Amino acid sequence: MKRILFLSLLSAAAFVSCKSQYEVLLNSNDVDAKYEAAFSYYNSGKYSKAAALFESLSVMTTRSDREDTVQYYWGMSNYMAKDYYTAETNFDKFINDFPRSPFTPEARFLRIDCLYRSTYRYELDQAPTRKALSAISEYMNEYPTSVHIGTCEEMMADLELRLDTKDFEAARLYYKMEDYIASRVAFRNVLKDDAETVYREDILYYIAMSSYKYAQLSVHQKQKERYMTFVDDYLNFKGEYPDSEYARELDLLYRRSQRALGKYSGEEEQIQEKDDRKLLRELTKKEKSASKKEKSAPDGEKK
């Protein structure tokens, strides 16, 4: 027991001594010793301690040959410690203060990476996403041959998808609420703002569905005009996506709208109506299954 107690006290004393040495060094004015220690901590993976030393050195090395190195590795230490908010601030200041430093191109990329890592999932505020996209675009224009271009393209695709998803889901919310006028307007506005959205096919589908359901729920006197609107939306969809997975459903609704507009009659109508009822049952079953699956899926997997 005495031996164990002695070893415990010895370990505690060594820890206190080590901590005291670091604190003494942190508060000292010995630039060379502090500079050497900062890199020693950095190279051994003790990034928080390295960051504190580089921060202290940033004041002590102003206007010296070491200034840009200290500033850069202050940012790198915070970056490696996964303090991306502070690292982004470090790199942003570094870029402004040392535009011609050999560290600047890498600092530009690392700042972008910090901005990217600080963005939120699509349901939340997308201001950080837009800020990151702007920085990525500027970097790619300035350094078109950079080794990081591939990574930048991946980040940009992910962020643009996030914005597209937010806009798409915001419009789809009206559809889920069965406010079909607002739904159609919202989806059309999404396309107006971003014609190249990855959800273009889905959006054109929901525009057509919104106009059909609005016509279906309208009073008889106004149905003809509103079914004609659906026909226009249907033809727009089929013109772009004739082989879409949505085509069978919209084809069915198109035939039903044609019947409502008096385009079918007699035996032809009876045969078509029989086939359509069978298809409608299949589609309704499929829609219920998809809705159940979406409700049970984790938030990150929902479309």
Question: What are the CA-CA distances from residue 109 to residues 81, 133, 280 (Å)?
Answer: 17, 12, 53
Q: Identify the structural domains of the chain with CATH numbers, from first to last.
A: 178-293 (1.25.40.10)
Cβ atoms of residues 42 and 76 within 8 Å: yes
**pLDDT(267) > 70:** no
d(CA 57, CA 97): 16
Give the model's confidence band at 266: pLDDT under 50 very low, under 70 low, under 90 confident, else very high: low
Q: Where is pLDDT greater, at 297 or 128?
A: 128
Average pLDDT of the segment spanning 243-266: 88
Cβ atoms of residues 156 and 198 within 8 Å: no
d(CA 70, CA 222): 73
Average pLDDT of the segment spanning 92-112: 97
**pLDDT(208) > 50:** yes
pLDDT at 280: 63
pLDDT at 24: 87
pLDDT at 229: 96
Give the pLDDT confidence of 175-206 residue by residue, as tens digits.
Answer: 999 999 999 999 999 999 999 999 999 999 99
Average pLDDT of the segment spanning 81-103: 97
**pLDDT(219) > 70:** yes
For residue 97, the number of C-alpha atoms closer than 13 Å in the C-beta half-sphere is: 17
Mean pLDDT of the chain: 87
User: Is the C-alpha dihedral spanning 87, 125, 120, 106 positive or negative?
Assistant: negative
d(CA 134, CA 47): 29
Average pLDDT of the segment spanning 99-128: 96
Give the model's confidence band at 69: pLDDT under 50 very low, under 70 low, under 90 confident, else very high: very high
Containing 196, the helix (H) or strand (E) segment is: none
**pLDDT(302) > 50:** no
pLDDT at 140: 97
